Amino acid sequence: MWPEAIRAVREAAPTGFLFENVRNLAGPRFREYLEWIALHLQHPRVTRDANETPVEHFERLHRLTREPEYRLTWQVANAADYGAPQIRHRVLIFGVASWLDVDPEPMKPTHSRDRLLWDQYVTGVYWKRHGLQGRVPRDDKTLSRVRALARGDHPNELPWVTVRDAIAGLGEPNGKFDHVLQPGARVYPGHTGSQLDMPAKALKAGDHGVPGGENMMVLDNGKVRYFTTREAARLVGLPDTYTFPRSWTESMRQLGNAVPCQLGEAAGCWLREMILRNKPKVSAETSRSMG
């Protein structure tokens, strides 16, 4: 996939680009491959020779001293930090054309767990918004963090969006508009579901056999049930007008493979902002390309 992605950059020569991939790409097992991807995206025209091994190509890219065609940054981003009601980590790669003379920067989070804890356990506005009685933290670690927050400053970010926030107004499954109860959810070791008052675990591309219970929610009474397709769609950021013609199993597979829309929007806006930091150069280059 990545050689074709780099070829697309080489042939299209965009002003900027954005790629995303799985979190493990930044892990120790694939870190050298990520470094090769980053170097090759900076120099997309420096292609691998016919008799050159991948290692030799990597080393040749490392030795280059000329200005790259693209300046690049990458980061591991948690979708919940950008307004998605889902804990989902993805690698994001941002690139901007060097002629813009802009050094790309990683995105800054707009939402935080601290602000959610503040709204839940310092001011209580979270519970009031949902018409519920105030609650106390369930574990000592969270309680300790809440006490520290109460002694400090008000967090400036927006609060993480929770499962309860995301599915508000849907009510219990009614069999309509993809809001259909799927039986069979159960708890066993390592398969516990998502809490209502935190972002969901990352949805997975599966159904009953998904490890960790990522496709289940834990209700207020302690029981569990599977997310309906409509609820899962909200966790991904899709509008209620989006319909799913396939079965729950197939729909959950597709939703489990989807990057939350909120993260995609945040990343796209961030790339646009970086490109437009040097508006005169952007306008001049656009005029030349059209002339």
Question: What is the predicted pLDDT for the residue at 291?
Answer: 47
Residues 21/24/30/31 CA torsion (nearest 10 deg): 90
Residue range 75-100, pLDDT digits in tens: 999 999 999 999 999 999 999 999 99
Residues 6+ apart with CB under 8 A from 48: 54, 57
Place of tokens 């309509």: 176
> 51: pLDDT confidence band, cut at 50, 70 and 90?
very high
| Pick from 53, 25, 52, 22: nearest CA to 37 | 25
User: What's the CA gap between 157 and 110, in Å, rounded?
Assistant: 5
Task: Please give the residue that has the higher pLDDT: either 278 or 8.
Answer: 8
| CA-based torsion, 48, 49, 55, 57: positive or negative | negative
Task: Please give the residue that has the higher pLDDT: either 250 or 179.
Answer: 179
Question: What is the predicted pLDDT for the residue at 253?
Answer: 87
Query: Within a 13 Å sphere around the CA of 278, how many CA atoms are in the beta-carbon half?
Result: 17
Question: What is the predicted pLDDT for the residue at 211?
Answer: 46
Mean pLDDT of the chain: 92
Query: What is the topology classification, in CATH, of domain 2-107?
Result: Rossmann fold (3.40.50)
User: What's the CA gap between 165 and 125, in Å, rounded?
Assistant: 13
Question: What is the predicted pLDDT for the residue at 48?
Answer: 93
> 278: pLDDT confidence band, cut at 50, 70 and 90?
confident
Q: What percent of the chain has pLDDT over 90?
A: 81
The structural domains of the chain, with segments of one domain joined by +, span: 2-107, 111-156
Residue range 152-161, pLDDT digits in tens: 988 999 999 9
Answer yes or no: are the C-beta atoms of 85 and 166 closer than 8 Å: yes
> 213: pLDDT confidence band, cut at 50, 70 and 90?
low
19-33, 54-68, 271-285: least confidently modelled range: 271-285
Mean pLDDT of the region 242-260:
90
Phi, psi of 92 (to 5 degrees): -115, 135
Q: What percent of the chain has pLDDT over 70?
A: 93
